[in-house]
A = this chain, B = another copy of it.
Amino acid sequence: MLTLRTLTAEQQAEIDALRDATTTTSRLTVPALEDVMYRPFAALDHGFIRVVDYAGGDASVVQAARVSYGKGTKATSDDRGLIRYLMSHWHSTPFEMPSITFHVKLPIFVARQWIRTRTASTNEYSGRYSILDREFYLPAPEHLAQQSTINNQGRGETLTPEQAKQVLLLLSLGAEQAYNDYEEMIDPQGINLARELARMNLPVNFYTQWYWKIDAHNLMNFLRLRNDSHAQYEIRVYAEIIQALLERWMPLTAEAFRDYRQDSYNLSAPALDVVRKKLAGETIDQADSGLSRREWRELMKQLHIPDS
Contacts and interface: CB of A to CB of B under 8 A. Distances in A.
Given A265-B266, A269-B258, A279-B279, A53 B54 contact: no
A192 interface: yes
A45 interface: no
A153 B170 contact: no
A58 interface: no
Contact of A191 (B38, B163, B184): B163
A186 B147 contact: yes
How many copies of the shown chain assemble into the complex? 4
Interface string A159-187: 10001001100110011011001001110
Contact of A203 (B67, B203, B276): B203
Nearest to A145: B194
A129 B153 contact: yes
Given A37-B27, A191-B163, A139 B196 contact: no
A56 to B, nearest CB: 6
A61 B13 CA distance: 21
Contacts of A303: 275-276, 279
A284 interface: no
A134 interface: no
Given A18-B26, A153-B196, A181-B174, A123 B93 contact: yes
A189 interface: no
Q: Interface centre among A52, A55, A137, A197, by most B CB within 10 Å?
A: A197
A244 interface: no
14 contacts: A15-B69, A20-B26, A24-B25, A52-B63, A89-B230, A93-B122, A93-B123, A146-B194, A170-B181, A177-B177, A203-B203, A259-B270, A264-B266, A264-B268
